[in-house]
Structure 1
């Protein structure tokens, strides 16, 4: 089946806002620069919108050299060149990994903006995926997330208010699969790229956070729980979208075609 890449999103800082892009390079760790940075507490634990919804209001832009972060929470943006600072031991969901500290200026800016002590780190080392033999940076468990427009349309028909795709923070938005068609897809192939979809994407309270205001409600998690709760790996999760691992690397373009199988 031929499907359209309806959108591409890169998240330079884990749990912060998205950067919609027209083209992205697919690397072994996902879209280039995705989740390359992360904010951590003094003990090294990662910051997430689960506990700090205001992270949604950070709007980062990163070209591989310079990180610029705008937010309505600060009078002026952070402008910071990437540095190979001292390595820090950090964790993502209690799993150890490493990051290069980005300095006191960045730490002070983020701490003031968010109202709690934190530091900015840039990914270092390697992290394996739980399944599929892939690697990733600071994403929760897999380097690529996929969701179809039709699945969101179906969810919105079940709710009183329509939600934008931004609530679900996918790297790749697809069109042409039909509602929940991604559930049965195992491969996405293009002229250069190939992605193996490994498992369903379990959802948490982050989808209840308005990405423009940081306000949190009970939806859409409550609506999804009524018909998208599944058992995977011995636990029950609310599933919406799929997670994958790159198998062939190259450029992805919004508006381009992929073969889903």
Structure 2
């Protein structure tokens, strides 16, 4: 008999494409977990930057701090940690591009821009998405009022520990869950059973699994060293390819408000 389903981990990623912070509870908002991917690094053209093109972003470590977080560089101790608040102020503004969207953003501090430019060796800026910004989720699969932060496309990403364990059983060297950057991690059940989920509940909150998440080269970047390899994408592609995309985890929309806690029961309400 399969073990009961439980929420085993919760992660927020304050800056898109940088490391996550594990939390024991998190507030749910319309855009996802509170403080998740509200900050974004952009280049001199105000185009979004990710590890897909800049693997060295993995070397920027994110640590919790009071009402914000600290950025530090794993290999450059001479760069003193930078404090960034969870929220910015509308003192300086600009438009930035993320994928096909152009959105209004608030600038972070000049100190943050200078620190990141030095850390990454190229001109860049740190920008924040305010609650006034409307960035819709893919409309063909979601209600018209569903919105998202600077995440790729959906408010939440769900992954199962059994799926990771099954994948690792096929790999020459196991990989940690941080290669896949989930917000919600559940344990129990069987490998890949989340593929069939449609509506499910975590604690008292209702969620909807919209579509499987197609994975990219970021999964091949060691988050400690920024070194790229072939795995786990090569092995995943051999048996988890659908419609030309390599799948791991589920893109999810949520209730818009509430609180999640590690240890909450997960209940599948309907399947696809």
Q: Do the two structures share a fold, i.e. TM-score over 0.5?
A: yes
Partner of 2:12: 10
Pairing partner for 2:83 from 79, 83, 95: 79
Instruction: Using the TM superposition, name which of 64-73 and 248-257 deviates more.
Output: 64-73
TM-score (norm 1): 0.93
Partner of 1:102: 108
TM-score (norm 2): 0.90
Aligned residues of 1:85 and 1:103 also touching (Cα < 8 A): no
Aligned residues of 2:24 and 2:261 also touching (Cα < 8 A): yes
2:170 paired with 1:158: yes
Measure, in 2, the Cα distance between the counterparts of 1:248 and 1:69: 29
Aligned residues of 1:193 and 1:248 also touching (Cα < 8 A): no
Aligned residues of 2:203 and 2:260 also touching (Cα < 8 A): no
Measure, in 1, the Cα distance between the counterparts of 2:65 and 2:251: 25
Measure, in 1, the Cα distance between the counterparts of 2:36 and 2:225: 22
Instruction: Using the TM superposition, name which of 179-188 and 88-97 deviates more.
Output: 88-97
Question: What is the 5 A alignment of 1:131-210?
Answer: 131-133=141-143, 134-210=146-222
Q: Give how far 1:61 is off.
A: 4.2
Q: Give how far 1:218 is off.
A: 0.7
Partner of 1:240: 248
Aligned residues of 2:25 and 2:260 also touching (Cα < 8 A): yes
- CA deviations on 1:39-78 (whole Å, 9 max, x unpaired) are 0011111010001112122223467843421222342101
Q: Give how far 1:103 is off.
A: 2.6
Aligned-residue CA RMSD (Å) = 1.7
Q: Give how far 1:198 is off.
A: 0.5
Provide the aligned length of Structure 1 versus Structure 2. Answer: 257
Taking a change above 3 Å as real, the CA distance of residues 20 and 153 of structure 1, as seen in their structure-2 partners, is same
Taking a change above 3 Å as real, the CA distance of residues 147 and 136 of structure 1, as seen in their structure-2 partners, is same
Q: Give how far 1:27 is off.
A: 1.1
Q: Give how far 1:153 is off.
A: 0.8
Unaligned runs of 5+ in 2: none
Unaligned runs of 5+ in 1: none
Partner of 1:230: 242
Aligned residues of 2:28 and 2:34 also touching (Cα < 8 A): yes
- CA deviations on 1:121-170 (whole Å, 9 max, x unpaired) are 01131111003132111000001000100111111111111111111111
Displaced runs of 4 or more, over 3 A: 61-67
Measure, in 1, the Cα distance between the counterparts of 2:188 and 2:65: 31
Measure, in 1, the Cα distance between the counterparts of 2:84 and 2:21: 17
